[in-house]
Amino acid sequence: MARTMRLKPQLVCWFRPGRQDSCWLVVLIEVMASKSNDSSQVKACLCPDEEPENVKPRNDGASRAEVEPVKTEDSGCGHSCSSTCGASCTAAVRRRRVEGRERPREEAGACCPLQDLKRLPQCRPPLGELRFGRAHTVLVDVRLVPQRFVAQDGRDVWSSNVVKMPCSPSSSMVKSGWTGSGPVERWKVISKHLGALSSRSEADVADVQKAIMKYNPKYEKQWLFDSLASFVKVIPKEDNYLPSLFPKMAALALKLPEHVKKAIPLLSAGRTAAVTLSQVQISCLLANAFFCTFPHRNACGAHTEYWGLPSINFTSLFGKTSQRKRQKLRAIMQYFKEVTDSPPRGLVTFERRCLSNAELPDWTSSKKKLLQLHVTSQGSIEDDGVGMLQVDFAASLVGGGVLNSGLLQEEILFLIHPELIVSRLFTERLGDNECLIITGCQKFSIYSGFGDRFEWVGPCVDSVGRDEWFRLQRQIVAMDALHFKHPSEQYDVRKVQRELNKAYCGFKKVGAGEPDVATGKWGCGAFNGEPQLKALIQLMAAAEAGRGLAFFTFRDEKTKRDVEQMYKLLVREDVTVGQLYALIQDYCRLRTHGGSGVDLLQFITLRSSRSQL
């Protein structure tokens, strides 16, 4: 039974006896005062038996840890303790030195330079021979790669576990007219109207709309093309390449039976599997998505056939106009311009990874130590993390709102690397123990801004090299964080464990020589995650997976300082992943019982001052 101890009018503490020293703090420090809380009072509550700072503990032998004061401003990361801690907390921070494991003070806990982290191609994971198997579908003839990228022969399959293709004879529609009505092959109707469009030297939005509605007649009064029309209007006449591009795109879409001959399996929930396509195949599939040819992918809802997959046809992007959609279309149309002018020559692999419970770590008993960390408020994951495993802050339906109005980190990644959009064609909703890893996608655009300030800047010449499978050496992992309606929900230990397992699934190595991770405020912002907690979760998962971490805060200086300070304290104390997990559990209990006055950095700092990490 917890007992209450009232120290000051501002502070109420609950203690639970019987753990470690005399009375061990477990659950609550509620700071009732204003923002100018006396941090020394908080420390007094957390550390009632703290010795005076000028008293050095007696060393009773080599097995005992020696505790002595440390100056936090000489940290190796260039920042002092966060101002939320207060001067007295900063002065109280101590570190242990165990004989035989001492490091120079200026190096202890220091974050590393970005160049110290591993990247491709300097580290080269062994690939082996490119081949198809039960869990790996390759849509090109592997015998001809890289000299030629020819479609692998196959047969049409019309079933619920593969992509139902527009060119399948099983795809039909009811066509009515003066000659009578009845089912006809939908591809014949598509071929007729896109063929007419492709034969023209120029076409406008009205021509595109007319063709699309011919094989989607049931949506004639529902679908709008306002955004596409307004986009074309705002482009200066001298820069407007769209009239000549629309016919080229129609011709590309009609090559689908030639470019994709083998059934594309769905990357279904609960199963690890991969699909490798050529970049030309991807461009052809995306051209069909633009012209809204994919059958059974327009209806949405819990009882529709493809409710567990994202949308793929571009109808929602063409609808109600907005500045966001116009900028999105600039990026997407730049992609189509480049692939129709000069078809890319390479492969891209999409791998759904699903971990069983037996493959997930036991976080409570992990002995792994924290690995290298670089924290910066400058730069970006996609630019400064080239060659590293880049984290896509994904939605469970990959791509999020890329084909609608969304413009967060994931949508921007999909816009500057449009080949990612094809993953929406075959990737089911991600589960708690799953992620999607994409290797080989090309960057086609440069951008600036975020959200409403997002702006397409211009084309990008991608200079990244290729691996033995002729994939660009760019690896992106889509992993979805939990969306908390209220921030307090994230302090449920079960949800912390879910996020740890999700991050570990994304970071897990499959062999030696894999790169380190480039990430940032995953699950924060619109998802209401707390940056300090999310940083530690990713740091723990990376340590368990054997990878270093580059953490980009996107101009958030406070988060940069906080993460640096937490890392320094934890490394100085030689904390294991298991010990850090126990510490986070304690903090979650504190927050669950209303202790909102102490943030995670402050909690770790005060625990460090008693060597309780």
Enumerate the active-site residues. 392, 410-411
Q: Give every CB contact of residue 304 below 8 A, 6+ residues apart in sequence.
A: 296
AA identity, residue 420? L
Q: DSSP secondary structure string, 225-246? A: -HHHHHHHHHS-GGG--HHHHH
- Helices 242-253 and 323-341 pack at an angle, to 10 degrees, of 60
Cβ–Cβ under 8 Å, residues 257 and 166: no
Q: Give every CB contact of residue 502 below 8 A, 6+ residues apart in sequence.
A: 432, 433, 435, 479, 480, 481
Per the rule left: phi > 0, alpha: psi between -120 and 50, beta: everything else, 546 is: left
Round to whole Å and give the CA distance between 8 and 42.
10
Asked whether the CA dihedral 595, 597, 600, 601 is positive or negative, the reply is negative
Q: Which residue has the tokens 């908390």?
A: 484
Q: DSSP secondary structure string, 351-380? A: EEEE--GGGS--GGG--PBP--EEEESSS-
The pair of structure tokens assigned to 418 is 């449009």
Round to whole Å and give the CA distance between 226 and 321.
5
Q: DSSP secondary structure string, 126-146? A: -------BTTEEE-B-TTTTT
Round to whole Å and give the CA distance between 260 and 150.
9
Round to whole Å and give the CA distance between 472 and 463.
9
Phi, psi of 483 (to 5 degrees): -100, 115
Cβ–Cβ under 8 Å, residues 274 and 137: yes
Cβ–Cβ under 8 Å, residues 489 and 592: no
Q: DSSP secondary structure string, 527-595? A: G---HHHHHHHHHHHHHHHT--EEEE-SS-HHHHHHHHHHHHHHHHTT-BHHHHHHHHHHHHHHHHTT-
- Helices 577-592 and 493-507 pack at an angle, to 10 degrees, of 140
Round to whole Å and give the CA distance between 420 and 441.
7
Chain length of the chain: 613
Round to whole Å and give the CA distance between 613 and 426.
45
Round to whole Å and give the CA distance between 500 and 483.
15
The pair of structure tokens assigned to 321 is 């106009």
Q: What is the DSSP letter of 85?
A: G
